[in-house]
Each structure stands twice: as C-alpha cells, then as structure tokens.
Structure 1
Amino acid sequence: MAGDQLTVLNALDVAKTQMYHFTAIVIAGMGFFTDAYDLFCISLVTKLLGRIYYHVDGHPKPGTLPPGVAAAVNGVAFCGTLAGQLFFGWLGDKMGRKKVYGMTLILMVGASLASGLSFSSEPTAVMATLCFFRFWLGFGIGGDYPLSATIMSEYANKKTRGAFIAAVFAMQGFGILVGGVVALIVSAAFDHRFKAPPYSVNGLKSTAPQADYVWRIILMFGAIPALLTYYWRMKMPETARYTALVAKNAKQAAADMSKVLQVEIEAEEEKVDKIDEAGKNSFGLFSSEFVKRHGIHLFGTASTWFLLDIAFYSQNLFQKDIFTGIGWIPPAATMNAIHEVYKIARAQTLIALCSTVPGYWFTVFFIDIVGRFAIQMMGFLMMTIFMFAIAIPYDHWTKRENRFGFVVMYSLTFFFANFGPNATTFVVPAEIFPARLRSTCHGISAAAGKAGAMVGAFGFLYAAQSTDPSKTDAGYPPGIGIKNSLIALGCINFVGMLCTLCVPESKGRSLEELSGENEENDETGQAATTARTVPV
C-alpha cells in the first residue's frame, strides 16, 4: 500500500489472534444471536396466534390470521430493521461505534419484553400492539448490523478478519436454532401440563386457555441474551480506526489499543494531521468522488444483499407452509394449537441443526482461504441449482415416499445460503469502504437486504397461494402456487450471482488499502480502485 500506515493500525493488522478477538466475537455475536432469535421466532407462533385470536364464527377461515394481519406480524419487524440500519449506521459514523452500541441493545431488550406483554381483550388490539413493539424491536436489531460488523472489522487483523466477522454473523444460526429449541421446550411443557378439552371449534381441535402464555414466553425469551451482554459492550473501547481516522485523536487510539494488545504503541499525531491536511478522504457520501471510487462497490453489496434476502427470508419465514404443503407437518385440524407449535418448531429446529448452523461455520473456516468472492458465487450458484431441483419436479416431492428427499434438497439451499451470500454480504461491506463512511455504507447495504426481506415476507405470502381461487387461504387472492414461487426464487438467486461480479475481493488486505485511505496521489488511488474492483 502506498502511503504511511499509522503504527496503531498496522499493529492491529499484524496482531496474532488473541483473547480479545474472541471476546469481541462473543460480545458482538450475542447481539446477532438475539437478532436472529427475535426475527425468526415469530414464524413459530403465527399459526398459534390465529388459533387463539381468530377462531370465532364469522371469520372467513377460523383459526388463521387474516391476510393483512399475517403480513404485518411477519413483516413489520423488517420495516423497523431497515430504518434502524440506515439510522444507526449513519449515527455510528457521526458519534462513534461504542456510543451507539448500547442504545441498540437496550431497545432490543425493552421491545422483546413489551412484545410478549401485548395484552388486550380484543384480537385487533393485541395484534396492533404486537406489531408496534416488533417495529421498535426491529429498529434496535437494525442498528446491530452495521455496528457489530464495523467494530469487528476494525478490531481484527487482516489475516483472519473475514473469519472473525463471519463468526459474529454465525451466531445468527445459533439464534435460529435456540428459537426452535425454546419453542419445543415451552410447547411440550404446556401441552403436557395443560390438555385442551376434547372438543372441536370450527373444525379445529380446541385450544387450551394457557396457550396464550406460550407465544408470549417464546417472544420474551429474546431479551435475556441481549441483557447479559450489555455490560461487556459498554466496557469495550472505541475502535482505533474511528478514534484515529475519524475523531483524529491518535493519542487516545494508541492508549486504547496498547491496553487491548498489551504492547506499547506510539501516538503519531503528526501522521494523523498529515492525513487530515491532505484531505484525500474528505469527500461525502454519494459525491462524484465517492461514486468514482466506491459507487460500483456499493451497488454490488446492496444489490446482492437485496436479492439474497428475498430468497432467504421467504424460505425461513414460510417453511412451515412449505412443509405443510408436502405433508411433513400434519393438517391443523388433526392437533391442538400447542401441539402444532411443537410440530413446526421440531421441523425448523431440524433444518437449523442440519444445514443452517453448519453453513455459517463452513464460511468461518474457509472465508480467509478461498476468499469472499468465490464463496458468494458458489453459494448463489448452488442455491439456484437446488431451488430449481425442488421446484421444477415439485409434484414429485409432494408424494409421501419422496418427502425425505425434499427435506434434504431444501436443507441444502439453506446450507449454501449460509456457506455463501448470507454470510459474505455481511462481511464485505464492513471492509471495503472508508472508516468515516464504513458504518453508513454497511447500513445502506443491510437496509437493501431488509427491503428484499420485506419483498420475500409479503410477496411469498401471496405468491405461494394456489392458482385455483377455491383453494386459496381465506382473504388471499389467487397466487402462482408454491412451485412457481420456488422457481421465481431460483431465478432471483441466479441474478444475485451476476451482481456478485460487482463485489470486490477483500481477502488478505488491510482496511486502508481496500478503501483507498492513505494513498499518495489521485493516480495511485484510481489504480487501486480499479484493482479493488477485480476479484483476485
């Protein structure tokens, strides 16, 4: 790299893996554990909500949430997450990573508890209150994306930086898994302790009154891991890259990292002043200079995350409907509401255990060996192949004797989503943008992803309906069917593979080399920008 590197930043780049790296992974990762738990646990209880609050006569289809309510309950957290990613991403670059980090966690804890306390005697009021608090839950979760990624990237050494950032994100897999386990334990305990009377209501087996506690406990449990990590987040020092390159306080950066690395680091205030005076990185977001240097990179990170999340969240939020469609989960009329939660949780836990969690950790182990670009391309390609493999012969997979094969193929799409773009889209935006815009650009990329999640949450809900109006769920217009919906998701994955060509390879380079900071002149900067665009 051209230009002089600050000693404190070079010390971070070449530091051996130490305990503080693992401490940072756990502290930041527990936020993502909570994020995943809170975002995906709602899919475990939506059917239960319908059976508790919409079982009365006069409802178009007793025991199911109305279309608008189902869409709101599933998708409102994503609206909050998108807003939180943009707001806290911007705030993290203005106020510093650490100052904002605690705000997001407190918001997540409060909103998780409040979501489970959505009390009222009217179903509409319960759902409205639940959606209100899940929006603010999503707002806090949104802030965790850019802040956790940026903090980990700025703490890590360049040799294993990808693995460290991916390990933070991999905690999402454990959050999904624990969500299923908690739902299994709670539903099994209540189903065993509180048996519903043996009669039917509108064609569905009766629901024990205590079932109302089940969904509340599941939602509120998400506050516990977030609360446990608050103290440690507040103890973390501000990252040296923010302190030195954005706040221009070389002395504080050297003092903070001397304690972390347990070595003496010289405070090079004259180098910071020199970098500041040169003004090479004073351009603003979306200025012509930013567009020239990083425009194609931001398009690449945002577009691939958008396309990935359409498919990823469609699969996660509505896998219960897909499993019901192929007969892996029995019809609702054959079991009581609590037992239905148990069946759904068991199916989703099995998928998480066998494919989702291993996929994340394959990325952790291989990302600094084969690189981000190769993993993302491979992931999109394999997701496309397996999605078409289950969608085109969909009628074949619905036969009872072929259900196991369907579950295996479906699990492989989750595996390659996580050993692929679901992890790399999180890692790369935290590495390739300048320190003063890093959190903001990661927030923009992540917000594009949540826009895709909303397309998946709302679009798949309607698109997966049968093409025959007589077979659609009550209140839903005819859709294109599950088969054609899965084919559409396969096409989206293929487009994601094409957009990956705009994403640079960041393996083995310092953050300043990738972002173009500390370059000596414009010609060098232009050459570096061109080199960064071509995957290596």
Structure 2
Amino acid sequence: MDQSIRDYGPAAPHGPNMTGQHDAQDLRSDMSPNEVSVFHSILHPDDIYDENGTYWADLPMGKRVAFVGKIDAQEARDEAKSIWTMFKNDPLSPVGFYLKNMVVPGAGLLLEGYVLFSIGNVRPLLQAGFGSCWKTFETCDEIWTQAIDYLEICGIIVGQILVGVVGDWLGRRWGLIQDAVIMFVGLLMLTAAWGVTENGWVICYVWSLFFYGIGVGGEYPMTATSGMENAVGSGKVSTKQDRLHRGRKVTSAFLMQGWGQFANQVILILLLLVFHHGSGNPPYSKVAVQWTYRVSFAIPAVGTLWLVYFRYYKMKSASKQLMISKKKSHVTGYDTRSLKLTLTHFGPRLLATAGAWFANDVFFYGNKLFQNQFIAVLTPNNKSVMVSWLYNLINVGVSLVGYYLASFLIDNKLYGRKWMMIVGFMADFILFVVPAFKYEFFTRPENIHAFQAMYFLSSFFNQFGPNSVTFLVAAEVFPTPIRATAHGFSAAVGKLGALLAAVLYNYISTQQKFYVVPWFGLAGAVLTFLFLPDTTGLDLKEQERRFSYIRSGREEHYHGIAVHPKHLSLWERIRGVGKHYDAKLDYESKINEMRVEWVESQERKFTEKPNQALDDDDDVYPEHVNKYFSRTTTDLPTQRPMMEPMNEKSSRDAGSSNASDELKISKEE
C-alpha cells in the first residue's frame, strides 16, 4: 500500500502508537513472554539474526563468518536429510524434484540456448557444404550472410524491451506464453527456410532468425522475474527459502541455457554422423548438410510446442506477486509512477546492471558467435567440422561447471553476487589481456595448450561470474512493478554489446579481438564495484517494504536492512542513502505496520465480507500476534465491537502459509 503507516486514531494506552517514535523496548514492556518470543521469531528470523537480534552484517567479522558458516552448514544438512528421505521413499523422486524446480522453470532458456548458439555451430557446416554461398560469396551476398549475427541480436533486443514492458503491464504469465508461441513459430520458419535462389534462402533464414530472436529476448525478463517472484510466496511474512536460496533458484533456471548449448552440439554431431554415412570428415554433401541443420531445428520445435501448453495450462499463478503489488498501489495497467520513482532513486543501479551486461556480452556473445575462429587457432590446418565441434563441446562442458558453481555460491553471504561478478570480470580481463600482448608466443605449437587453457578458463569465469549474476541482479535490485522492464532494458543494453562484437569481429583479426575485449572486463568490474548493491541474503519483501516508503514520499522514515550499508552500492553509501538505518526504530516500525495490516484484514473480514474467508493475500498472523493486537488496539472505528482474535486452528493455518520457515508455535503456548 502507498501509505506504509496509516492513522487510525489514538494509539492504545500501552501499545505502540502510529508515529514510529517509541523505543522498541517500550513495545516489549506491554507484551507477555510468549508474545515477545513470537514477535522476535517473526521479526528476527534466525537465518539472518543471531540470538540477540543482531543482524548478521552488523556482527564483527569473526562472528559474522562463524554465523554464516553455521547457518549454511545447517541448511546443507537439512537439505541432505530431505534428499535422503525422498530417495528412501522413491529413488527417482530427487530427480523429479530437480526437473520440476530447476529444469522446467528454465525450459525456455534451454530451448533458446539450443537454437541461439547453434548459429555459430551451423555456420562452419554451411560454409563447408555451400562454399559458393557462405564462404566465397559467389552466389550469395556477403552482407546478408553477416546480417545473420546482426539481425539475430536485433530481434533479441526488440523482444527484451517489448516483452519486458508487456510482462509488467499484462503480467508475467502472458509474457511467458507469448515468448513460447513466438519461438515455436520462429523454429518452424527456420526449419522450412528456403528460396528460389541460394541468396533468397539466406535472406529467409536471416529474417526467420530475427523473428525467433524476439521470443528469445522475452525469455530473459520473464524467466528471471517469474522464477524470482514464485520463490517468495504470497504471505506478508518473509520466507527463509527466499533469503537463502533465491539466487540459486533463478540461476538454476538460467544455467539450462548452458545445457541447451551442450544438447545442440551433441545433436549436431549425431545428426552429421547419421546423414553423412557415419563419418564426420569432409567433403560434406549438400543433402547431408541440409538434413543435419534442418532436423536440428525441428527437434526443439517439439519441445517449444510443449512449453506453450505448459505455460498456458500449468502456470496460471505466474503473475500473482505482480498483481498483489499493483493491488496495494491501486494501479491497473502499467505502473508509470513506479518507473519514474525507479529512475529517480535507482538510476545508478540501472547503470550498473545495464553497463555490466553490456561489458559481459562483448565477451560472451563474441566468443559464441565466432568460436570457430578461436578454435581454428587451437587446431591449425584442420578441415573437419567435427573436430571443431568436439573442441566446442569441451568448452561448453567447462562453461557448465562455471554455471553450477555460480548457482552453488551465489547465495553465500561472504561471497555472493557482487564479488562473484567482480572476480569473474577481472579473471576474464587477465585471461584475455595476457595472450593479447603475447599472441605469437601462445599460438606456437609448443605453447598452444596454454592458450587453450586460458580460452576455456575464460568461459568458466564468464559463467562463474558476470553472465550468471547479471541475469539475476538485473531483476533483483528493482521494485516488483517495473522489475521486468528494468531487466529487459538491462538485457537489451547487454545485447548492444553482443551487436558490437558481431559487427567489430567481422573486421578485425583474432589477435586484435584479444586487444579489444579485455578492457570491457575491466570496465564491467569498475561499474559493478561502484554502482551495484549486494543483495545477497536480503529478502525481496524487505526491498518492497522500502519501496512502499519511497512511493509514499517517506523514504527517510524507512530504517530497515534494505538500506544497511552491506546492501547498498559504494555510490549509494557515499550519497548517504544508508544514514537512516536503525535496527531499533525498524523493529518498532515493523510492529506498527503489522498492526495496520491486521486492522485492515479485520475490517475486510467483518465488514466487506463477513461470511467469507480471507483472501490468500489478506494479512493473517499467528495466534499470539492476533491476541496482542486485539488487546492493545483501541483505534478501530467505534461503531464496531472489538474483533476477537482468530482461533487456534486458523492461526496455525495462517502460519503454515505465511511464516512456516520462521515460526514454530507449540500447542503449549
């Protein structure tokens, strides 16, 4: 709601007033021991606060390391026990759990990764089978063959901006469905692309790829925002899973892009062996080339058609968090006010997410689109497409290790998003700048393995760093109403980096590429260090709470952990954004906000719909919270009697949906 704290009249004589001026200890003086315990459990969850109610980032370094290690170790043990229990009940259930929670949410990225990065794989095959068109350009226009790289990226940019806006306007679900439909039609076009002349075929192929790219672009903001928001839940009380595993959940979906690349390379190898009579060696017939690349596009079309079905019939609640946010702000349609506030208050963050993504994509897409040129350095005098494909398969395998390690460590509070991105950028900078100035030395036959190691390591650190982190933080550091827009814009600016690489790499040599690329890694590290906040371990709902204060024009009254120096960028700290952080005042403010939400829920329950159960998004709290508010709140409209607290059963039911991770209330209490 716009007003985080509303005035319901005079406060209870001994309860908290609505001005946010009482010391937190004063609130506790009016509570029973059980009530104090319950409020402490809700407002000081034990995964981010110690037993004294001190936030983990406020602890001295030694205690901070010990606290984080203890929480992570306990969570790892709990997860191991859960997996073992599933395995004992059904040996395949852990696999089913992984497929449901990691693979299916990232299915769109798996399919787009398969197709998108197949372009770099298919090009050498087309050059080998249709040399007069794709290599010597006797029958085809060279500009159109180069336009494949340009228009593919342009289509992605269009999709990222367009679907990002649609996702915030109409909802995540319709954006997801739209992406899947566009990708399916685009795959049919790619599979059937042909022309009266070979040049006409190229033109048809290029525009089919542009159309497909629109769907690919939309996958970025939709997968990131829906995956992130679906992990949060609908209750007012924040979830432990969101804080501890939000990054892993989103990057586990994102890493399916790597599996898409891997699957594409394996399938291309198998198809070429099938259609080229069991051999991967040249010369390649036009028939073998045609069947190989067309069938490779037809296979993901089947998976994409399933994706259309799944998103339409099985993801009906994908837009729930966005709708809740809009309902609180009384907004229908696109929230232009939130967009303006975001540009005003979070502009430097947008510079960080968009600028870092731009720098990253010069690395990432440049390497993928022109990987055959890099691999040619590793395999001089090689004429076989199969050899290049096998080297690329190794490179993708190394990248997958980086994806998984990023997913494993991205939620670690002592390392997390920001340091992972800085280290990844700096590693890529070093791994490109070293061979740039010693190119002849590292490309000699006796030193080629060192060159190969650096090239493969650059792929590893690109995934275990900026490529994974940018996908996450570009949605995470912005408010819900414009999250997809901000992510789509950041990703689109990133694709301008890919476009720069696609254009530039056509006109410079391989060594010159090594001269140019490293500095983007350095620039990305600097942008990240200056302007990107570290949101590792910070609850998404806490960020939404801060934004509600900003939206109501009361930013200075927010004292919570979203403005803790740990969760602000260097630029924001220099500007004094964190000067209002105060743990005691924040504790009091949260109780006051809970009181207001409780009052509103009681009003809805007893006036607007007295014979109906509360909606899923109505505010319900555990029994002792209800008793406390019922006893101390005297500022309700006088024409209605004081509401009775919820009974024990409804209290427990509410707690199971809203606070099950933070709060366990025994029957004795």
TM-score range relative to shorter protein: 0.7 to 0.9
Residue 50 in structure 1 maps to residue 121 in structure 2: no
In structure 2, the residue matched to 1:105 is 180
- Offset of residue 533 of structure 1: 3.0
Matches of 1:35 and 1:48, distance apart in 2 = 20
CA deviations on 1:69-94 (whole Å, 9 max, x unpaired) are 33212232111010000000000001
- Of 315, 324, 328, 2:379 maps to 328
Q: Percent identity?
A: 26
Residue 147 in structure 1 maps to residue 222 in structure 2: yes
In structure 2, the residue matched to 1:396 is 441
Matches of 1:463 and 1:125, distance apart in 2 = 28
In structure 1, the residue matched to 2:603 is none
Number of aligned positions between the proteins: 463
CA contact (8 A) 2:429 2:522 kept: yes
Task: Give the match's secondary structure for 2:538.
Answer: coil
- Of 70, 88, 92, 2:145 maps to 70
In structure 1, the residue matched to 2:620 is none
In structure 2, the residue matched to 1:467 is none
- Offset of residue 361 of structure 1: 0.5
Structure 2, unmatched stretches of 5+, are 6-41, 48-74, 83-95, 232-241, 574-669
CA contact (8 A) 1:53 1:123 kept: no
- Indicate how the Cα distance of structure 1 residues 46 and 526 shifts in structure 2: closer, same or farther if over 3 A, else same: farther
In structure 2, the residue matched to 1:304 is 356
Matches of 1:208 and 1:128, distance apart in 2 = 18
Structure 1, unmatched stretches of 5+, are 5-9, 197-203, 249-271, 333-339, 465-481
Residue 426 in structure 1 maps to residue 434 in structure 2: no
CA deviations on 1:150-196 (whole Å, 9 max, x unpaired) are 00110122221011111111111101111110111111222225899
| AA aligned opposite 2:568 | T
Q: 1:54-453 alignment to 2 at 5 Å?
A: 54-55=131-132, 61=136, 67-156=142-231, 157-192=242-277, 205=283, 207-234=285-312, 235-236=314-315, 237-246=317-326, 248=327, 272=328, 276=330, 283-285=337-339, 287=340, 289-324=341-376, 326-328=377-379, 330-332=381-383, 340-353=384-397, 355-369=398-412, 370-453=415-498
Matches of 1:292 and 1:184, distance apart in 2 = 51
CA contact (8 A) 2:151 2:206 kept: yes
Show structure 1 runs of 4+ deviating over 6 A. Answer: 13-22, 62-65
| AA aligned opposite 1:238 | A
Residue 505 in structure 1 maps to residue 534 in structure 2: yes
CA contact (8 A) 2:273 2:279 kept: no
Residue 39 in structure 1 maps to residue 116 in structure 2: yes
- Offset of residue 346 of structure 1: 1.2
Matches of 1:62 and 1:77, distance apart in 2 = 20
| AA aligned opposite 1:191 | H
- Indicate how the Cα distance of structure 1 residues 321 and 276 shifts in structure 2: closer, same or farther if over 3 A, else same: same
Matches of 2:374 and 2:183, distance apart in 1 = 30
- Offset of residue 327 of structure 1: 4.7
Matches of 2:97 and 2:303, distance apart in 1 = 20
CA contact (8 A) 1:506 1:514 kept: no
Matches of 1:153 and 1:170, distance apart in 2 = 15
- Indicate how the Cα distance of structure 1 residues 296 and 530 shifts in structure 2: closer, same or farther if over 3 A, else same: farther
- Of 487, 495, 501, 2:515 maps to 487
| AA aligned opposite 1:345 | W
Larger Rg: 2
Matches of 2:389 and 2:162, distance apart in 1 = 33
CA deviations on 1:378-422 (whole Å, 9 max, x unpaired) are 000101111112222211222222222211110000000000000
- Indicate how the Cα distance of structure 1 residues 529 and 22 shifts in structure 2: closer, same or farther if over 3 A, else same: farther
CA deviations on 1:51-82 (whole Å, 9 max, x unpaired) are 444427xx993689754233212232111010
- Indicate how the Cα distance of structure 1 residues 346 and 414 shifts in structure 2: closer, same or farther if over 3 A, else same: same
Matches of 2:540 and 2:148, distance apart in 1 = 39
Task: Give the match's secondary structure for 1:462.
Answer: coil
- Indicate how the Cα distance of structure 1 residues 330 and 109 shifts in structure 2: closer, same or farther if over 3 A, else same: farther
Matches of 1:423 and 1:167, distance apart in 2 = 10
Matches of 1:310 and 1:483, distance apart in 2 = 15
- Indicate how the Cα distance of structure 1 residues 396 and 533 shifts in structure 2: closer, same or farther if over 3 A, else same: same
In structure 1, the residue matched to 2:556 is 523
Matches of 1:242 and 1:411, distance apart in 2 = 40
CA deviations on 1:77-131 (whole Å, 9 max, x unpaired) are 1110100000000000010101221111111112112102112241111011001
TM-score normalised by length of structure 1: 0.79
In structure 2, the residue matched to 1:199 is none
TM-score normalised by length of structure 2: 0.64
What value does the CA root-mean-square deviation take over the aligned residues?
A: 3.0
Q: Which of 498-507 and 516-525 deviates more?
A: 516-525
In structure 2, the residue matched to 1:259 is none
Matches of 1:149 and 1:327, distance apart in 2 = 36
| AA aligned opposite 2:116 | L
CA contact (8 A) 2:276 2:288 kept: no
